[in-house]
């Protein structure tokens, strides 16, 4: 009698199924569902990892990321217009654009598109301060008489003023962008 009590303490109790086949089916379904869950977890993890690898960040401008796919799209669009452009030039342009748009947003400028917003910012922040003196126009005309094919100064005055304004705008814009870059956190991967 003593041995019966001892063995009953260590007996493993199994769920009470009416047949051993039901228990086997239950175990099979449990194992199968566990395998399916693990498979789904692994495949979803791998798809996230693959997505990160396919579209990695190539540069940070303050809190803005430039992804490889953004760079590739912009580069391909630029190649249609300017086939000699390099990816590095496109990336620099993208960085400069983000910096200028950030400044335009700080001024709370609004425009229907980002290009319009950039134009408005450049007009307001840089171009309005450019003044070309009459002497500069006349000096340019005299130094480039051959390019005007005998046209009088009054006939080409506006053309010269536009050219000199654009030249000055480009110089000031480069200087402004250089200043923005110095005051920003830019990391190129």
- Arch. (CATH architecture) of 19-45+54-188: Orthogonal Bundle (1.10)
pTM beyond 0.75: the answer is no
5 has a pLDDT exceeding 60: no
- Residue-wise pLDDT tens digits, 77-135: 999 999 999 999 999 999 999 999 999 999 999 999 999 999 999 999 999 999 999 99
> What is the predicted pLDDT for the residue at 31?
63
What is the spatial distance between Cα 178 and Cα 180, in angstroms, rounded to a whole number?
5
- Sign, CA dihedral 153-155-146-136, equals positive
- From residue 10, alpha-carbon distances to 2, 5, 23, 64 in Å are 14, 9, 21, 65
């Amino acid at each position: 009698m003593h041995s019966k009590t001892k063995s009953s303490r260590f007996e493993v109790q199994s769920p009470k199924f009416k047949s051993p086949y039901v228990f086997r089916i239950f175990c099979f379904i449990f194992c199968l569902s566990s395998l399916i869950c693990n498979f789904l977890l692994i495949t979803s993890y791998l798809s996230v990892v693959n997505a990160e690898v396919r579209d990695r960040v190539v540069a940070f401008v303050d809190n803005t990321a430039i992804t490889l796919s953004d760079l590739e799209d912009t580069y391909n669009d630029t190649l249609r217009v300017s086939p000699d452009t390099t990816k590095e030039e496109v990336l620099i342009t993208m960085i400069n654009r983000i910096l200028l748009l950030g400044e335009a947003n700080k001024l709370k400028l609004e425009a229907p598109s980002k290009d319009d917003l950039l134009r408005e910012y450049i007009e307001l922040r840089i171009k309005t301060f450019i003044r070309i003196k009459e002497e500069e126009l006349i000096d340019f005309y005299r130094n480039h008489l051959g390019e005007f094919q005998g046209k009088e100064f009054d006939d080409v005055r506006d053309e010269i003023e536009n050219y000199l304004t654009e030249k000055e705008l480009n110089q000031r814009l480069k200087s402004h962008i250089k200043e923005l870059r110095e005051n920003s956190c830019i990391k190129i991967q």
